[in-house]
Each structure stands twice: as C-alpha cells, then as structure tokens.
Amino acid sequence: MPKIVNADDRRELVADAVFQVIAERGLTQASLRNVAAQAALALGSVRHYFENQAELMEFAFRVNSERIHLRALDVLETLEQDGLAATRNGLLDQCAGVLEELLPLDDERRADAVVHMEFMLDARTNTELLDAAQDDYRATGAIVGRVLLALMESPLAVPNLVPVDEAERLIALLDGLSLRMVLQPAWAAPEQGQATLRRHLAALLTP
C-alpha cells in the first residue's frame, strides 16, 4: 500500500529546509535545488508543493513569522486569562514574559530571528514578499499593543501614557535588541537584552 504523505507536513518540512539553508548560507542560496537537497527530497517533489521560488519563499516567510508570534501569543493569552498581577514585580514579569518571546534569547529563538531578518531585509526590494512583511509588522504591533493595554489597565501604570507612542517606542526597542543580539552576541548577551527590556517596561510603571 503506498505511503500517504500529508501535504501540510511536507510543506512545513520544506520550509524547515529553507530555514536551514538561510541560517547556514544566506537567503540568496535558498534556491529550489539547494532546498530540495537540504530536505533530502527530489527537486520534482519540492516543485509538486511549490510552483516556483517566489511561492516557496513567501510560504517560508509566513511560517517563520507565525512561529515567532505564536510563542508570544501563547504567553499573552495566559496573562489575559489569569489577570494582571497586583505587584510591580509581578506585572513586570508578566509583560516581559510575553515580549521576551520575540527576542533571540536561546538557540531556537535566535535561529528564527536570523531567518526573520533575512526575509525582512529582502522584502525591502522584493515586492513578492511585501504582503508577508506587512502582515508580520501587524502581528508584532498587535502583540505589543495588547501588552501595553494590559499594563495600562493596572493602577501601577504611569498616568497619561499614549498607547500609539509607547507601542512605537517598544517595537523600536525590540527590533534594536534583536538586531544587536543576532549581529553582536559577544556584546549583547541574552541577560542584557532581558534587563534592557525590563528597564523600559519599569519606566512605564510608578516607582
């Protein structure tokens, strides 16, 4: 009896091969042929699931973005279900715990961040990735916005915070930390990134 292949699983396997090629050799080397070799598949098998290079790259970009954001959403939904902590340190732990999932603090998150940066840079000039990049921006903004709104509901929050302004500042901080931690790991250890994020969040709370 022939083996039944799940198409979604096979597409995810190919996406994982894209990530491995990008991490080791860069986005320019993620050709259909190289990806097929990385996945130990025939080139025709990859073309069975993806018509062309552009379709494969957009799919892989969206998988990468989804994995990053789902980690944060899992923690965020727990925060929203459990309710806000009554203490300053507890609230800091809750909010930082969500946003830290967007930072390259361990091997898994660093690997995802490396691939994510390659895709985002390519989307600057590659119109075929533009929609995926815009969806990625919106997903990050939604998570940051929900964290800030939760924090601002607490009586511990500094009064008169402007959500849009604070969201822009926080996204810029997360982007900068991610970039620094990926490109300069000797100068930006995970502990430093966590401390910087927490100092920023602490400034949004009353002493």
Domain residue extents for the chain? 1-50, 54-202
Kindly state the average pLDDT of the residues 13-37.
95
Instruction: Find out whether 16 and 37 touch, Cβ atoms under 8 Å.
Output: no
Tens digit of pLDDT for each residue in 80-106? 999 999 999 999 999 999 999 999 999
pTM here is 0.92
Q: What is the fold of 54-202?
A: Tetracycline Repressor; domain 2 (1.10.357)
Tens digit of pLDDT for each residue in 102-157? 999 999 999 999 999 999 999 999 999 999 999 999 999 999 999 999 999 999 99
DSSP assignment of the chain equals -PPPPPHHHHHHHHHHHHHHHHHHH-GGG--HHHHHHHTT--HHHHHHH-SSHHHHHHHHHHHHHHHHHHHHHHHHHHHHHH---SSHHHHHHHHHHHHGGGS--SHHHHHHHHHHHHHHHHHTT-GGGHHHHHHHHHHHHHHHHHHHHHHHHSTTBPTT--HHHHHHHHHHHHHHHHHHHHH-TTTS-HHHHHHHHHHHHHTTB--
CATH architecture type of domain 1-50: Orthogonal Bundle (1.10)
